[in-house]
Structure 1
Amino acid sequence: MATITAHQIALWIHYFISGGFLINALWLLIRVARGTYLKLPYNQLDKTLAYLFIVNLYLQLLFGLILSTNLSIFGYDYQSASGTVASVSKRLWPIEHIVLMLFALFIANLGLIFSNKSTLAHEKHQKIFIYYSIAILLIATSLASIYLF
């Protein structure tokens, strides 16, 4: 029977939160795109999805930081993973990923703030759509740089 380590638990929680984020992000983008183009009202579900998007990003940040810092005392350092020493892009990826995720979180927060300050439903949908799309593109760029290249 294999033992489960703290690293594996944190990694699976991070994956679970990321999966929830993906579902939430797709649902939110579809709703705000429809709201923007069809001039639909901005209702409580839209607001809840927008807040869940931000909460999900904060949870991912928390578990990502736990994975990249605290678990190194147990010997789980990303730099010591096999095969990464030879590739500079893989060695620098954790830094790039954290920076891009922080920018994505910052931009998504700006979108939520600007959306909350808007009075028209169309403007709320539009601001959420623009800012959250930029945040999602930053996240996708960060993940593509390690998984595709």
Structure 2
Amino acid sequence: MGIYEILKSAHSGWRYLVIILLLVAFINALMGYLGRKPYTEGNRKLNVFALISAHIQLVLGLLLYFMHDWYKGDMSIAIQRYWKMEHITMMLVAIVLITVGNARSKKVDSALMKHRTIFVFFGLALLLITVAIFGMIKADPSRHLFAM
């Protein structure tokens, strides 16, 4: 097993941690916002863990992207277009949303606004990730939702 296969397995497996952490942080922020709960150190740590996991996923993904030469793919072939442009663009935007949401939540004073900021930005990132997953399934019908 070469380095590419190891990185691909790591990237494929790590995605579950990213999605779970984002989903838990999103639900936690929603409950905090709707319940007008205080913003705790636990909330902050959960958001930072979600942020860090997403950035680790980004690094793994970029290594794979350039090791496999996806940037040289033929745009007329759906699966190559997906990996060359669509996947990387949507994931980069999602990670920017996570990063901006976390940074903005630090700058507001009110606990309610902190929860709302995380809810909005992490929610948008989750939505974009979900769209990317379904785009992958459409571009490559041999893959399914939980494929490794």
2:93 is the counterpart of 1:103: yes
1:143 to partner: Cα distance: 1.7
What is aligned with 1:93?
Answer: 82
- Note the alpha carbon deviations across 1:46-67, whole angstroms, 9 max, x for none: 1011111111111111111111
Alignment of 1:1-149 (within 5 A): 4-70=1-67, 72=68, 88-94=77-83, 95-149=85-139
Q: Post-superposition shift, 1:120?
A: 0.7
Aligned counterparts of 2:121 and 2:70: Cα–Cα separation in 1: 31
Q: CA deviation at 1:41?
A: 0.8
- 4+ residue segments displaced more than 2 Å: 77-80
Deviation at 1:142, TM superposition (A): 1.3
| One-letter amino acid of the counterpart of residue 128, structure 1 | I
CA distance in 1 between partners of 2:138 and 2:81 (Å): 15
CA displacement at 1:101 relative to structure 2? 1.0
Structure 1 residue 88, shift from structure 2 partner: 2.2
Letter in 1 for 2:126: I
2-structure distance, mates of 1:16, 1:101:
16
Q: CA deviation at 1:89?
A: 1.9
**Structure 2 residue runs without a partner (length 5+):** 140-148
TM-score, with structure 2 as normaliser: 0.84
Percent sequence identity is: 25
Residues 80-130 of structure 1: CA distance to partner in whole angstroms, max 9, x if unpaired?
9xxx97x72211111211111111111111111211111111100000000
Structure 1 residues 78 and 106: alpha-carbon distance in aligned structure 2, compared to 1, 3 A threshold: closer
**Counterpart-to-counterpart distance in 1, 2:33 and 2:71:** 44
Partner secondary structure for residue 119 of structure 1: coil
- Which protein is bigger by CA-based radius of gyration? 1
The superposition leaves residues 25-53 of structure 1 with CA deviations (integer Å, 9 ceiling, x where unpaired) of 12111211110100111111110111111
Alpha-carbon distance between aligned partners in 2 of 1:119 and 1:101, rounded to the nearest angstrom: 29
